[in-house]
Structure 1
């Protein structure tokens, strides 16, 4: 049954990706040049739904958090590498396989680049663990714990701010 759910979910996401055209290289370049924010609005909508959804599921006891430790320098470096890869290739890891499925040859290089990067990281992990992971190691922290807010309320506030931002972008014609 899990495989069927996965298949149906994959088909649904593929359809949505196709309809929004976020698998297209031009859409990602449009985001990076701030001329077409379709990809940003799509991503923020996913974060908005996830922010509310995970809080509702955890509040109802249907899901639990599995916090990972926060390593500030490692997160910053990872974000820079991720962003550079996206800027150079014009695809993010979520859309590159979809672009390949759509027949995009340049998407193949994005997928291969991601796989090579993951292998390089795995083979050099002891180095990163010794040098980078100790800088800014904050442990398992969360925004609700830091702000002393109920997680569901914070999720609703965060989702509301994201929705306001998305609507602002739409109103401005971006």
Structure 2
């Protein structure tokens, strides 16, 4: 049943990606150049919905959060590689799959890059595990834990901040 839920949410997310026009190369490039905030608005809206939804489901006892330990090394290296790949090909993993689904065959370069990157990662993981994966181990933490506050207070503050950022972006016409 978990796979069915994953399929349903994946289809819905893909539909929203397409309807939000964030699969388009010009939107990707505009986000990278900070002249079109369509993708930023889409991502912030998704973060708000996911954050509220996950904690609500958790508080209702319907889901259990399974946190992974936070380690700065792989997050920093992975983030830099992700950003570099996005900047070079103009697609991130989700948007490249969606763009290919729309018939944009230039997205194949991004998908090929992901496959090559995954292969390199798999072959170098034993070395990475003893080096990069030991840099900045923080354990299983959340922002409310770090701040020592109730998660709804933190979520409320983040929702207000996100709403203000979204409003600012809209006022600037981005």
Q: Same fold (TM over 0.5)?
A: yes
Q: Which has the higher contact order (CA 8 A, sep 6+)?
A: 1
SS at match of 2:138: strand
2:110 match: 110
1:50 match: 50
SS at match of 1:138: strand
SS at match of 1:63: coil
Superposition pairs of residues 61-140 of structure 1, within 5 angstroms: 61-140=61-140
1:35 match: 35
**Which runs of 4 or more aligned residues in structure 1 lie more than 6 Å from their structure 2 counterparts after TM superposition?**
none
Q: Deviations over 1:75-110 (max 9, x none)?
A: 111110011111111011111100001111111111
Q: CA deviation at 1:138?
A: 1.3
Q: CA deviation at 1:147?
A: 0.8
Q: Distance in 1 between matches of 2:52 and 2:148?
A: 18
Q: Distance in 2 between matches of 1:56 and 1:159?
A: 14
Q: Deviations over 1:92-138 (max 9, x none)?
A: 11111000011111111111211221121111101111111111111
Q: Distance in 1 between matches of 2:69 and 2:13?
A: 30
Q: Distance in 1 between matches of 2:126 and 2:15?
A: 40
Query: What 5-or-longer segments of structure 2 have no aligned partner?
Result: none
Residues paired across the two proteins, number: 174
Q: Distance in 2 between matches of 1:67 and 1:73?
A: 17
Q: CA deviation at 1:3?
A: 6.2
Shift in CA distance, 2/171, structure 1 to aligned 2, threshold 3 Å: same
TM (norm. structure 1) is 0.92
Shift in CA distance, 8/75, structure 1 to aligned 2, threshold 3 Å: closer
SS at match of 1:41: helix
SS at match of 1:105: coil
Shift in CA distance, 58/125, structure 1 to aligned 2, threshold 3 Å: same
